[in-house]
Amino acid sequence: MYLFETKNKNLITYELLPPRGSEGTHIETVKAFTKHLDAVTVTDNPMATLRASSIAFGKIAQDILKIEVIPNLSCRDRNLLALQSEAMGAHLLGFRNLFLITGDVPKDKKGFKGVWEVHAIEFCRIIKGLNIGIAKVRGVQQELAGSTNFKVGGAIVLNRINEHETLIKKIDAGFDYFITQITFDADEVIEFFSIAEKREISINKHIQIGFCTPSNIKKFKTITQMPGVSINPEIVTKMEKGLNYKETLLNHLLETRDKIKSNLKGYSIGFHIMPMGSDELGGRLVEEIKT
C-alpha cells in the first residue's frame, strides 16, 4: 500500500541527517523510537553544507531501521544527467519514494557553484517519465531498459509569496504528497488551507506538517534565520519565558498539533519531525504524538 494515501492520516515521519564523514550516524538513537514512526526522510546536503550521500546513508538506515526510508534529492548539486542517474540508482537499491527539492541557495557563494539545470517541478515530471521508461538526455527523450516506480514528494513553504500558485503547479506536475517547511504556529497552517479553500484550490494530496525540536533557546532562535521559516514573536517570547524550555516547547508543539487536527479534519494530514540535532526531544515528541 502507498504510504501517503489521502485517507492515511496521523502519519509520523522523521528527518535523518547524514554524517559529515564516515562516523556519527545517530541511527541507533532513532531506532529506540522507530516503532512510533511510519517512515524517515534523509536530507541531501541541507543548507548547502557537505554531508554523505542521502541515498547511500538512506540504504544503511533502511537496513537498520526496517521501515520506509525516503531520500531527498536536491536539484542544486547535480545536472539533469546526474539527477536521473541518482534516481535510477536509488530504484536499484529498493527505494520507491523520493522527496525532491530545488535546494537552498548558499549564504556564502564564494567558492561554491550551484548547478540548477532543473528545479523541483521539472524534475518531478522527469521522474514521472522514468516511471514509464523514458529519460531526458541532451534535451530529447530516451527509452530506458525498464521503468522505475516512484512516488514523489515535494515541499510547501507556508509563508512564501505565491505558494498557492506553486502548489497548483506541483500538483499538476505529478507530486504525490507534500511536507511543509518548519512551523510552530497552528494559525499559519490553518490560514494556508483557508486561503486555498477561498480560492477554490483543491488540496487533495496528503500533507505532512513540519515540526522542529531545537535543543535550546539559542538554537530555537537560529531557526528564524532559515529560508522559508517565519516564527511569530509571541511564540519566541513564550519559549524564552518558559520555566523549562524543553517542556514548554514540547507542550507548545502538542497544542499546535491538536489545533491543526481539530481545524483541518477534512484533510489528510500527518506530522514530520525535524530534530535539528536533538533526537532526545525529537523522539519524545514522536512518542507523545503517536500515543
pLDDT attached to residue 215: 92
256/184 Cα distance (integer angstroms): 7
Burial string for 69-84 (b: 16+ CB within 10 Å, else e) reads bbbbbbbbbbebeebb
CA torsion 277→279→281→286, rounded to 10°?
130
DSSP 16: E
Query: What angle is formed at CA 194 by the lines to CA 188 and CA 198, rounded to 5 degrees?
Result: 145
At position 41, the amino acid (one-letter code) is T
For residue 103, CA distances in Å to 65, 166, 234, 250 come to 27, 15, 30, 29
281/91 Cα distance (integer angstroms): 33
7/118 Cα distance (integer angstroms): 32
Residue with cell 501517503: 4
pLDDT along the chain (291 residues), means of 10: 83 94 82 95 89 95 96 94 97 97 76 81 97 92 95 96 96 97 96 96 95 94 84 93 95 97 95 91 93 72
pLDDT attached to residue 109: 62
Q: Quick one: CA dihedral 136, 138, 144, 148, positive or negative?
A: negative
Q: What share of the chain is helix, strand, coil (3-state, %, to 5)?
A: 40, 20, 40
80/122 Cα distance (integer angstroms): 10
pLDDT attached to residue 107: 67
For residue 238, CA distances in Å to 183, 200, 247 come to 15, 35, 12
pLDDT attached to residue 48: 81
Question: How long is the chain?
Answer: 291
Cell (9 digits) for 158: 507556508
Helix or strand holding residue 69 (H, E): strand 68-74
Catalogue all structural domains in the chain, each as residue range(s) with its CATH number: 12-290 (3.20.20.220)
pLDDT attached to residue 1: 66
At position 197, the amino acid (one-letter code) is E
pLDDT attached to residue 139: 85
| Helix/strand/coil for 13 | strand
Helix or strand holding residue 76 (H, E): none
Q: How far separated are the first and last CA of the chain, in Å rounded?
A: 23
The strand pair at 206-212 and 12-16 is best described as unpaired
Question: CB of 161 within 8 A of CB of 78?
Answer: no
